Structure 1
Amino acid sequence: MTPAPVDETAARLAALDDYAGFSVRPGAGWVSLAAADGFLDRWLALLIAEHGGRNVAGSTLGSALAAAVIGPTVGSMLLDRRCPDPAPANLTALPSGTGEFDARGVRTGRIAVLAVDPAAAHPDSVVLPDEKALDEWWAVGVAATLTPLFEAVRTRAPFGLRNLWGLAADDVTATSLWLAELAGRDQQAAWTRAQRLLDALARHAPIRFLRSRPFPVGERLHQVRGTCCLYYRSTCEPGPPAENRCDTCPLRDDDSRRERLLAYP
């Protein structure tokens, strides 16, 4: 029997890297994003205990929720020009016990494909005429899913909505660059593709968000994130803040950023 298109794409992503993949129709222990609001207080409390503050905890929770949406959808679009349904009832995540997620998944086989895709005839496929329509389908669904989730996080933690949406935008470009490197594809083309996705998302997000900027180092293309995640303030990272800032943090100076990125294997 021919595999369902969502299973095919999930398997191809997982073949590149376990975390790039996503589970399809997972079982017990997973939480649908449609039901996530009922777990946010518990997850936030775990993150506050872990990181020592509500602000960084709110950022971390927002990042985890964004990744559960962005990872499976953007990964599929970059690799196969397909997009699993980004509706909250379809997206699901496996809580880690720390307030974050161990894995992401989808609950059904529903997936958008282009008319030229061999999977267009599959009953699970939503057939779209071109890449522009695919981007729009993705953006409408992502905005509808993340808007109530981010608003719920914001009512519980001081990390602002503009910053939460900025983290999601940064995840789009980070996912695109990472997958291009894993798949041996052109990173500049992946960056350009990510910008088209963000153009579509900006039309539907309820707030204007910042974007990352490209940062080439040697033969690799990295990014400087548009939004700081505040992880350098976490009690998990003792030491001077200047040393704790991520290599892609907008608060880090470019000279030290370049030096650290050059040391990547």
Structure 2
Amino acid sequence: MTQPSTRETADGLAPSLRRLDLRRDVPAGGLRCSTALGGFLGEWRTRLTGWLRREYGEAPPRTADAYLVAWYLDVPARIGALLLHHERRVPSLRPADLAFRLGTGQPYPEAPAVLGDEFCCLPTDPASATPGATVVRDERALAAVLRARYTAHAAEFVQAYRPHSPFGRRTLWAAATDALESALWGAGRTPETEGAAVADAALVLDARYPPLTSASTLRLANRQWTRRRESCCFSYLLPAESECDGCPRTCAR
């Protein structure tokens, strides 16, 4: 975790975003998450279906839907996880305050951006007195803020995408749970820092918080951390592909 220096306090959240390579503006050719939820998801699914067909020769509808769900939810999950793990800050995760663009080849979200200045932090944060900062009492409270803000964003996505998806609400919320824990794990997934990332996942998902479908499932197996997925990505429907490690189709619950 990197603590901001006292010389950076006047800039509030901006130094954290620079350190983590997160943008402060909508990237060229990009869009706000609120715009994506307002009508872009159908176009995105069409582009994703075309990419799957070019890459694999087939584009099973369930695979395209599962990829879109996971890829979209990775945006608020990754932004929140990176800032919590490295900076002990939680920004606004409202759809209007986040942005991204799609890759020109693989239509995966890239260039994630945080557009707002508001953030929550700990009492020891040097920027705790700056405009936009809200101080919470401890790390458990900060984790609760991240969980609540992410869940609120995911709820807007579920509401927007549910009419276009073959998946039920439980499946969509299972994917939302996977996205959050995977992002927390990935935020510090190096040999030196993986333990701290696992601890963050346990802090944020210390229990099941409906509509999220599970507490953290990270566990040690053969001296390596692994997790049981809550949702299926349906990659096994693609030619020459099989179920992923931790797939709920093959793992005992």
- Is the 1:74–1:175 contact (alpha carbons within 8 Å) kept by the matching residues of 2? yes
Find the partner of 2:138 among 127, 130, 139. Answer: 130
Residue 28 of structure 1 pairs with residue 28 of structure 2: yes
Determine the C-alpha separation between the residues in 1 that align with 2:212 and 2:27: 37
User: How many angstroms does 1:194 deviate by?
Assistant: 1.3
Pick closer, same or farther for the CA change 1:115–1:133 going to 2, 3 Å. Answer: same
1 CA distance for matches of 2:74 and 2:41? 15
Distance in 2, matches of 1:5 and 1:182, equals 28
* 1:148–1:170 distance in 2 versus 1, CA, 3 Å: same
Shift of the 137–200 alpha-carbon distance from structure 1 to 2, 3 Å rule, reads farther
Q: Which amino acid aligns with 1:173?
A: E
CA shift at 1:92, angstroms? 1.0
Q: CA deviation at 1:222?
A: 2.2
**Residue 178 of structure 1 pairs with residue 176 of structure 2:** no
Change (3 A) 1:253 1:199: closer
1:62 aligned residue: 69
SS state at 1:104 partner: strand
Whether contact under 8 Å (2:27, 2:111) holds in the other structure is no
2:119·2:134 contact (CA, 8 Å) conserved in 1? Answer: yes
Following the alignment from structure 1 to structure 2, what is the Cα–Cα distance between the partners of residues 74 and 106? 13
1:2 equivalent in structure 2: 8
Deviations 1:32-89 (A, max 9, x none): 1111122111011122333313222221111112111100111211222111111111
The amino acid of 1:226's aligned partner reads E
Aligned alpha-carbon RMSD (Å): 2.6
Deviation at 1:118, TM superposition (A): 1.0
Higher helix share: 1
* Structure 2: runs of 5 or more not aligned: 1-6, 53-58
More displaced stretch, 68-77 vs 97-106: 97-106
Residues 9 and 63 of structure 1, relative CA distance in 2, 3 Å threshold: same
Task: State TM-score, norm by structure 1.
Answer: 0.77
Matched AA of 1:232: Y
Helix, strand or coil at the partner of 1:229:
coil
Pick the aligned partner of 2:119 from 89, 111, 121: 111
Aligned residues: 237
Identity level (%) = 24
* Structure 2 counterpart of 1:67, one-letter code: D
Residues 211-230 of structure 1 mapped to structure 2, 5 A cutoff? 213-230=217-234
Structure 1 unmatched runs, 5+: 14-20, 255-265
TM-aligned CA deviation for residue 126 of structure 1? 2.2
